[in-house]
Structure formats: C-alpha cells, structure tokens
Homo-oligomer: A and B are copies of this chain.
Amino acid sequence: MSTIINDIEIIKAETSKIKDIDFDNLKFGSVFSDHMLECDFKDGKWQKPKIVPYHPITLDPSAKIFHYGQSVFEGMKAYKDTNNDVFLFRPTDNIKRLNISAKRMAIPELPENYFMDGLKALLKVDEAWIPTNEGSSLYIRPFIFASGNGFHASPANEYKFIICTAPSGSYFSGKVKVLIEETYSRSANGGVGFAKAGGNYAGQFYPTQLAIDKGYQQVIWTDDNTHEYIEEAGAMNIFVRINDTLITGPTSDRILDGITRKSIIAIAESKGIPVEVRKITVKEVVDAAKNGELKEMFGAGTAAVISPIAGFGYKNEDFDLPELKETYASLLKKQITDIQTNKSEDSFGWRYKL
C-alpha cells in the first residue's frame, strides 16, 4: 500500500526495526533506518524517486559498479532540536556537489528536485530515527552507482540513486594522530580527487593501514609530484593553526570542496580569526612544530565535523601538538554545531528547516 507525499510515492515497511536500536551507544554508519529512497536511471532518463522499505539490491554480476568503479556519493546529517524540529545543513551544496562528482565520473546528473523532494519525504517517514542525544545525528548517505551491465570499459546505460540514513555517533573516538605521507598519493592533477568518487576512498585504505600499523589513525595526503605540500586528510579537509593564524589549502582538482571546510573558514573570519587559504608546505608545519608556533591541527568534514589532531609523524619523527585550554577547534566546532542543531542564531542562512 502506498501513499504520496510531495509527489513522491511512499511504500512503508510493514514493521519497524527501531526498537532494536540502542540510541545511547551508536557507532558511525552501521545501523540503518527503516526506509530508503530509490531512483533509477533507465531509458535515457532519471525515473521518479520512491521511498521504499530498506532492502537489498540485486545486480547482475556484470553490473559496471563491480568492474569499473563508477560511483559517487555525498555525506549529510539531519539534526533534531528540543522542539523536535528537523534541520539539514546547507543541503543545496550537497546536491550541487553530487552532480559535479557525477559529471566527472560520466554519470548522468540528477534533477535537483528529485534529490530534495525525495530526501524530505524520506526524513518525514523516518523522522523517529533522528537521534536527539548530544553528539549524535542521522547520517544521510546519498549515492549513485552504475547498475547497467556489460564488460565493455565504458559508462553504464543504467544507474541507481539511493539515499540511506543511519543514526550515528561520532566518527572518530579518542585522540587522532596523523602521518604526513611521503610515498603514496591520493589524487592526480587533472584526476578525480575533487569528486566524491568511490575509488578515491579505496585507494587510501592501504596507505592508511600502513599508517595505522605505525600507530596513527589517518594519513595527511601531500601532492603526488613533490610530497612537499599538505593537501587533505582522507575523509576530511585539513586546517593548521600557526600562532594565531588558521591556514587551509585551496581547493583544486585534487582536493574536495568540503562544505564543513568552507563553513569553518566563514565562521573563523566572522570571529576575527586571521584565515589564510593558501598552499601549506610540510616544511613550514614541521618548522612551526619545532619552534612552538604550531598551535593546532584539525580535520574538517561532515562525518567528523571537526576532529582535533593530537600529533603527527613525518620522516620517522613524531611531533606532539600542545594541549591548549582554548582551541580554535573547540570554538569552531561549537559554533558550527550550534548552528546545525538550532542552538544559535544562523546569520549565514545555512540551516535548512524541514
């Protein structure tokens, strides 16, 4: 039996799994809400999205996703305030970036209203899944992959756009130590590093595992040509504070245009923090660490929001960052999450009430 909300057909699950979920002990992205959005590209166009019970996907073994990695995704979060009002954060930017990623991966771009109307309907149906615990949120994962068949190395003729949601706790637990990479690289000039393409992530797993084996949690990627410039931190953009100045690298075809990244830049500037968006050399970070001018490093991304870095390794040397009482990381994290969760005014117009 189906109903229609905002022109979106909704087929409800017969039973809910929500009673099985321990909302006080949520991990990141490992339990999934009752419903999902499903939308097919076939016969040369995107068909209308539907909300359907969360269900397995069935594909031919020759589906191109298995062979040629044609996939893109986004990460978003929904928050619920004390009035049970539901908010998204800059969702239009996710839609636009999904289509930028899709274009680079030769995936047909999605009509923006299919994304937004569909997501609204999905969150309406699964509203009870949005956590209210401090630090938790409903992680939203929109993704598109090549579902069309055949071994010819060319774009598929069919795709699936899906949105799943997962009530989630924090992405990292404990102190994050990072390793500045000297050998491996994440992306090429003229490559796909700016896109949220699946293959960008798989390519990082092995070097990250090598770093984990050495006692670090994440790799700080450097440019593939000289390894002299700091680029990004895998699932996050990277910020460095030298004395009182906050520095982050410019976006490029190698670096993801992070929504948290640009929000942090805007908030920091509004607070009078000196911000520089420019190339950062590994040398200046190491020098600043040695002479005590390196005050903070942190990662920024939707999943982790802001993830303070406790220290870094470079060329077999370890550098600890100072433990400051008041950090830019905690100030900026409070500012951005207060906006996201409707605890503060939103002078930027970023919050999006459903």
Give the interface of A toward B (CB within 8 A).
28-30, 32, 36, 54-63, 65-71, 73, 103-106, 139, 141, 143, 145-146, 149-155, 162, 164, 166, 168, 171, 181, 183-192, 197-206, 208-209, 224-225, 227, 234-235, 303
Q: Which residue of B58, B197, B234 contacts A203 across the interface (Cβ within 8 Å)?
A: B197
Give the most central of A65, A103, A198: most B CB within 10 Å. A198
- The minimal Cβ–Cβ distance linking A38 to chain B, given in whole angstroms, is 9
Are A153 and B235 neighbours in the complex by a CB distance under 8 Å? yes
Establish whether residues B66 and A65, one from each chain, have CB atoms under 8 Å apart when the complex forms: yes
Cβ-neighbour of A69 out of B181, B189, B200, B235 (below 8 A): B200
Residues of B within 8 A of A106 (CB): 202, 205-206, 209
What's the nearest-Cβ distance from chain B to residue A252, in Å?
A: 12
Residues of the B chain whose Cβ atoms lie less than 8 Å from the Cβ of A189: 185, 188, 224-225
Query: Do the beta carbons of B199 and A69 come within 8 Å of each other?
Result: yes
Query: How far in angstroms is the closest Cβ of chain B from A201?
Result: 4
Known: A67-B141, A69-B198, A70-B205. A62 touches B32 (CB 8 A): yes
Most buried by B among A54, A67, A225: A67
Of all chain B residues, the one with the shortest Cβ separation from A36 is: B61
Contact A188 B58, CB 8 Å, known A30-B152, A153-B234, A154-B205: no
The interface residues of chain B lying within 8 Å CB-to-CB of A171 are: 152
A201 and B67 contacting across the interface, CB-CB below 8 Å: yes
